[in-house]
């Protein structure tokens, strides 16, 4: 089953009379059980894409289906239920994922209670989950009194508490040391391997990118490249555009006139030098 399907998805923020185009035509399919990392420079649109997949934002244009539902057609209640039961979300700011006054254990148990699904009834014991993220000794501490890194690990435990079908995480390792980050990566991968969950993670951490089935680079609001099995490929957009890798941009700087020539299995681009016209 295709769990995430984006067709020419655009997103525009309206800010004090100005428009900020965050996504300008994203095409993306993620199949059940796949793990995908979204990489790319700051401001490229990664978080926006994740928020759209979580139903926390609605696309300005384009088609978006998540877990078989047409997200645009779901009302606020149906979206909230979908999120609570089938989606696990780790937001970028650790404090936003937790109830500050509830203990770590209560936060995890609460996510399971809200989901109340059959999947959730098979969910892992709270203490086991907290142990997996290295928080067993802090189970009784109010989440608001945990450090940023501890809250981040708690957020991952909360997001996995109800065995979501789709796990979405925005920079889940940004505040963690290498050892804790590796433990979180293992847990995310395991969610896919054991429960068939589909995992989409925004990250700047190359180790996270390398650990997943696919690494998509988002640049300028589009999918620019896709890495899999150690190879990186350019992704041709629906308008025929490709984003040259930064290393090749020196050869064809912006504004360069180039000739495109068909080859048996592709296209060759050659720069036209001064006086070479005609």
Does position 91 interact with ligand ATP (CB under 6 A)? The reply is no
Please list the residues that pair with 199 across neighbouring strands: 35, 167
Is 266 in a helix, a strand, or coil? strand
> CA–CA separation, 47 vs 222, rounded Å?
13
DSSP 163-224: --SEEEEESTTTT--HHHHHHHHHHHHHHHHHH--EEEEE-S-HHHHHHSSEEEEEETTEEE
Q: How deeply is 264 buried, as exposed, middle or buried, from its count of CB atoms within 10 A (0-12, 13-18, 19+)?
A: exposed
The residue (of 13 and 256) whose beta carbon lies closer to ligand ATP is 13
| 20 touching ligand ATP, by CB under 6 A | yes
Stretch of residues binding ligand ATP (CB under 6 A), selected from 27-35, 42-50, 65-73, 75-83: 42-50
* 195 binding ligand ATP? (CB under 6 A): no
* Listed ranges 45-53, 78-86, 245-253, 262-270: which one lies at the site for ligand ATP (CB under 6 A): 45-53
Binding mask 140-179 for ligand ATP (x = CB under 6 A): ----------------------------------------
Select the residue interacting with ligand ATP from 3, 28, 37, 48 (CB under 6 A): 48
Round to whole Å and give the CA distance between 191 and 161: 10
Phi and psi for 220 in degrees, rounded to 5? 55, 40
Binding flag, residue 44, ligand ATP (CB under 6 A): yes
Interaction between residue 196 and ligand ATP (CB under 6 A): no
The one among 13, 125, 148, 261 contacting ligand ATP by CB under 6 A: 13
The count of residues interacting with ligand ATP (CB under 6 A) is: 12
Sole binder of ligand ATP in the list 4, 9, 22, 188 (CB under 6 A)? 22
Checking 229-237 for CB contacts under 8 A at 24+ apart, the result is 237/25, 237/27
Does 135 help bind ligand ATP (rule: CB under 6 A)?
no
Contact footprint for ligand ATP (CB under 6 A): 13, 15, 20, 22, 40, 42-48
């Amino acid at each position: 089953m295709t769990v995430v399907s984006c067709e020419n998805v655009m997103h525009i923020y309206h800010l004090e009379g100005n428009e900020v185009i965050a996504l300008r035509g994203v095409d993306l399919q993620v199949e059940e059980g796949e793990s995908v990392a979204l990489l790319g420079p700051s401001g490229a649109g990664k978080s926006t894409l994740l928020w759209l997949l979580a139903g926390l934002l609605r696309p300005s244009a384009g088609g978006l289906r998540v877990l078989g539902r047409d997200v645009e057609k779901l009302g606020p209640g149906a979206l909230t239920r979908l999120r609570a039961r089938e989606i696990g979300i780790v937001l970028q700011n650790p404090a936003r994922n937790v109830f500050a006054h509830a203990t770590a254990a209560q936060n995890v148990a609460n996510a399971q209670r809200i989901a109340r699904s059959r999947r959730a009834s098979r969910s892992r014991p709270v203490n086991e989950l907290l142990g997996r993220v290295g928080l067993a000794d802090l189970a009784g501490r109010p989440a608001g009194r945990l450090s940023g890194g501890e809250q981040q690990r708690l957020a991952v435990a909360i997001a996995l508490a109800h065995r979501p079908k789709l796990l979405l995480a925005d920079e889940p390792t940004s505040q963690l040391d290498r050892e804790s980050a590796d433990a979180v990566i293992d847990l995310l991968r395991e969610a896919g391997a054991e429960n068939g969950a589909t995992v989409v993670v925004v990250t700047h951490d190359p180790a996270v990118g390398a650990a997943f089935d696919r690494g998509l680079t988002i640049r300028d609001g589009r999918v620019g490249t896709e890495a899999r099995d150690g190879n990186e490929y350019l992704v041709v957009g629906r308008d025929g555009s490709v984003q040259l890798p930064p290393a090749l941009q020196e050869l064809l700087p912006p504004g360069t006139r180039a000739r495109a020539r068909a080859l048996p299995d592709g296209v060759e681009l050659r720069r036209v030098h001064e006086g070479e016209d005609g």
